[in-house]
Structure 1
Amino acid sequence: MAVDIVVVNWNSRELLEQCVESIVRFGNEQLGKIVVVDNHSSDHSLDFLSQYPDVALVKQTKNVGFAKACNIGAQQCEADYLLFLNPDAALFANTLESVIDFMEHQENQQIGICGVKLLDENNHVARSCSRTASPTGLFFHSIGLDRPWPKLGQAMREWDHLNNQNVDQVIGAFYFVRKSLFNKLSGFDERFFVYYEEVDFAYRAQQQGYSSYYLADVSAYHLGGGTSDQVKANRLFYSLRSRLQYAYKHFGFVQASFVALASLTFEPVVRSLKALLRGDIQSMKETTLAYKKLLLWGVGSTSE
């Protein structure tokens, strides 16, 4: 059994180089193709790839978004498994071998998606798994109640992520998928430019009888933030937009509109008050800009 790895890059520079280097260094005989899909970077972040002639590079003439770029990369792949790896992530020794061995066990054949324990630069374990998005969970997130009471929201921050278990969703930074399932679901929904594409994929996989699994026995590196930290206002805009797109796709009009109302009324106030209490004027400006972009996009477009 083999795995092909797809890395989507947008102005990642040193991060991408460290990511590819880790794949080349720790990839074993089970590693198939390495595909880098570049979303029209402008920072010369691809220059180092001349050192790695076996890496397949697919250049886009514009930023087509994360979901679409992943699908484009997957079209180049033929292995039994796909790993979508963020540029701000990296492999450790035995990461690939351990996940493949786990997925190959007979009792795990209905596990379609696998994530691993993600460690940051300080060796801290990221709280990276989530519950299936729900109208109430997104509402509590919008008004900030999932911070003091994580069980009310989507992110599983109350769990230390130190044990193996079935979960509803693993983070897209390290997204290990059966290629047969990816083909069956026609890949990621490209309406999600970035964010929620893995949430949507995991939910659709559940509907087909496949589960997601978090494997704490296996580790990988993840910086967190990464490329999206370059444009925080845009990051918030795309996160909000994808949330509304997901809601209108899966919740029905009434419940989705409930989520939209909370996202557009309560949440900007909560975000701005938090930034004000911190004295963070820049965050207030970024929040205002993100919501301006969201309103210009238009709530009426959420079902597109």
Structure 2
Amino acid sequence: MSYTMKQNDANSLIIVIVNYRTPELTIDCLRSLVDEVRSLAGTSVVVTDNASGDVSVARIQAAIETEGWNNWASVMPLQHNGGFAFGNNAAIRSVLKSNNPPSYFLLLNPDTIVRPNAIDILVDFMNRHPQVGIAGSRLEDPDGTPQRSAFRFPSLLSELDSGLHLGIVTKLLSKWVVAPPVPKDKCQTNWVAGASMIIRREVFEQIGLMDEGYFMYSEEMDFCLQAKRAGWSCWYVPQSRVVHLVGQSSGLNNTKCPSKRLPQYLFDSRRRYFLKNYGWLYTALADHTWASSYVLWQLRRVIQRKPYEDPPKLLIDFLRNSFFIRGGKFNPPKTS
């Protein structure tokens, strides 16, 4: 399946939404895009369905037809569920091969509701800053409470802070904390959340598509790192506001549900990121740093009689997936 842009001006944009068994969320997301699409000439939306195996494709297609969105929205069913990068790449690859590819691509989660002018603001920012390759929106709760969505790349010091859970250490290492406090104004950052992330076409042309070796999580972080190494900057643009119903599409980080055991793909993604980008020695040091500091935190928690609030069997699962158990081999990056 191929897609053709009506024009290739500075505002031409493809929005990609990856659906997996969340048809109602996806439809609500599409509904929030109606005014955005009208205000931005040359904008289209592609919903890729990661082989949901339910009513998703039929339900989303029916909504597109009923609501009269056919001129700008379409559904691309995929043969299997290859994860977040796979679902996005399927649409992006097809569009890049077209005769008139767009200036920008926007990755948008199905569990988002776009606030007025959010997309227009991102496109305008990219038009004004040609050296910027990637930009992300301010993600927020329905009541407007901001979510942390501008991040730093992880390091040995951030792994120490993450495992230790000690306030004074967090303050001392504030420059290395992966998820710093939410910035109030636009700023350059290492990476932004893939829930609402705009990417310049030339970035894909230079570094390739997202690494499909990640099933879910860390793929946008890895992509931003590759872009940075190629000379592209990444920015956080809080004037672009997008409601993010955290955990509704992935099932993780949903504060309304009890803490669940972390899925295998999350550990796989972390391990892949460190091995691919920093090598086996750094990965071994990162794993040792987090595990040893986390053990210290657990000892302190028991002594201070604090409740256990982490996911079940977190330390055991981490160690089972660490460099020391699984070694330093990983599959080469997948981008096609």
TM-score in terms of structure 2 length:
0.78
**Identical pairs, percent:** 24
Q: Does 1:237 align with 2:264?
A: yes
Report the AA paired with residue 104 of structure 1. Answer: N
Q: Does 1:189 align with 2:200?
A: no
- Counterpart residue number, 1:91: 114
TM-score in terms of structure 1 length:
0.85
Match of 1:81 among 90, 104, 123: 104
Q: Note the C-alpha offset of 1:279.
A: 6.0
Q: Deviations over 1:193-241 (max 9, x none)?
A: 1111111111111111110011122212111122222697575432222
Q: Please give the alpha-carbon distance, in whole angstroms, between the structure 1 residues aligned to 2:197 and 2:146.
A: 17
CA separation of 1:42 and 1:291: change in aligned 2, threshold 3 A: farther
- Counterpart residue number, 2:41: 30
Q: Please give the alpha-carbon distance, in whole angstroms, between the structure 2 residues aligned to 1:14 and 1:188.
A: 26
Q: Note the C-alpha offset of 1:25.
A: 3.8
Report the AA paired with residue 80 of structure 2. Answer: K
CA separation of 1:137 and 1:21: change in aligned 2, threshold 3 A: same
Match of 2:157 among 127, 136, 142: 136
8 A Cα contact 1:196 1:246, kept in partner: yes
Deviates more, 1:204-213 or 1:214-223: 214-223
Q: Deviations over 1:127-170 (max 9, x none)?
A: 1111122232233323334895472654333x332111111111
Match of 1:66 among 84, 90, 95: 84
Q: Does 1:300 align with 2:327?
A: yes
Q: Note the C-alpha offset of 1:89.
A: 1.2
- Written as runs of structure 1 = structure 2, the 5 A alignment for 1:112-151 is 112-145=133-166, 148-149=170-171, 151=174
Q: Note the C-alpha offset of 1:8.
A: 0.8
Q: Does 1:214 align with 2:226?
A: no
Deviates more, 1:190-199 or 1:69-78: 69-78
Q: Which has the larger radius of gyration?
A: 2
CA separation of 1:230 and 1:134: change in aligned 2, threshold 3 A: closer
Q: Deviations over 1:95-124 (max 9, x none)?
A: 22221111111xx11100011222211210
CA separation of 1:87 and 1:260: change in aligned 2, threshold 3 A: same
8 A Cα contact 1:131 1:168, kept in partner: yes
8 A Cα contact 1:16 1:45, kept in partner: no
Which has a greater percent of helix?
1
Unaligned segments of structure 2, at least 5 residues: 1-10, 96-100, 254-258, 332-336
Q: Note the C-alpha offset of 1:43.
A: 4.3
8 A Cα contact 1:137 1:152, kept in partner: no
Q: Note the C-alpha offset of 1:44.
A: 2.3
The number of equivalent residue pairs is: 299
Deviates more, 1:39-48 or 1:263-272: 263-272
What's the C-alpha RMSD, in Å, of the aligned pairs? 3.1
Moved over 6 A (4+): 271-276
Q: Please give the alpha-carbon distance, in whole angstroms, between the structure 2 residues aligned to 1:87 and 1:233.
A: 22
Report the AA paired with residue 83 of structure 2. Answer: G
